[in-house]
Amino acid sequence: MTVRGSAILLLLTQGVVTAQTNSVPARKDSSVYSELAKAPKKAAARHNPLGHDPDAVAAGGKLFALHCAECHGEKAEGSRKAPSLLAEQVEQATPGTLFWILTNGVVRHGMPVWSKLPEPQRWQIVSYLKSLTPAGKSPQ
């Protein structure tokens, strides 16, 4: 039992390390943004119901720091785990597209689904993302 238990623990630890090492590829190529194009037209056309809510950006920023910054970086600049959200592709994406990506995740590439956040909270995050100034552009 002791030997078997220890072996299982060892295997588990090794699996954890392997899985983690494998799940951290470089995310600098632009192909990671191709997921944005996969949003169905109907989903991409959705309007942000909180687009005119004055608190949505601030609340979305709080949610971003809580749930997204670990992988996408505190300023959404990206990291080895996840792409920058300051990229032009993200700026050009419709709110509906960003909402669709948040809802469905990109499970194959390591982004979990975030439909566990209620819809208004996902829209708040979208409001925050749309408020960001893309890299290379000066704030207006």
Partner 1 sequence: MLATRFQIPGHRRAPSLAVRISFCTAIGLILATLALPARAQESPYIVTYDHYLEEPGSLEVEYFSTFGTQRAGKDFLAYWTEFEYGATAWWTTEVYLDGQTTFDDSTLFTGFRWENRFRLLQREHFINPVLYLEYEYVSGADKILKEIEGHDGEADTAGPNAVARKEHKNELELKLLLSKTFKGWDIAENTLAAKNLTNSPWEFGYAIGASRPLALKASVQRCNFCPENFIAGIELYGGLGDRYSFGLHDTSHYLAPVIAWNLPSDWTLRLSPGFGLNDNSHRFLLRWGVSREFSGFGAAISRLFGGRS
13 scored as a contact of partner 1 (CB under 8 A)? yes
Among residues 13 and 88, whose Cβ is nearest to partner 1?
Answer: 13
Q: Which stretch binds partner 1 (CB under 8 A): 20-28, 88-96, 130-138?
A: 20-28
- Among residues 103, 105, 104, 96, the alpha carbon closest in space to that of 127 is found at 96
CB of 63 to partner 1, least distance (A): 5
DSSP for 8-56?
HHHHHHHHHHHHHHHT-----SGGGGGGGGGS-HHHHT---TTTT-TTH
Distance of CA 63 to the CA centre of its chain: 12
Count helices and strands (H / E) in the chain.
Answer: 7, 0
117 scored as a contact of partner 1 (CB under 8 A)? yes
121 scored as a contact of partner 1 (CB under 8 A)? yes
Bridge partners (DSSP) listed for residue 45: none
- Among residues 132, 72, 74, the alpha carbon closest in space to that of 102 is found at 72
CB of 137 to partner 1, least distance (A): 26
CB of 129 to partner 1, least distance (A): 15
135 scored as a contact of partner 1 (CB under 8 A)? no
State the Rg of the chain over Cα. 18
- Pick from 73, 77, 91, 110: which binds partner 1 (CB under 8 A)? 110
CB of 116 to partner 1, least distance (A): 5
Q: Which residues bind partner 1 (CB under 8 A)?
A: 1-2, 5-6, 8-9, 12-13, 15-17, 19-21, 23-24, 50, 55, 58-60, 62-63, 66-67, 70, 80-81, 103-113, 115-121, 124
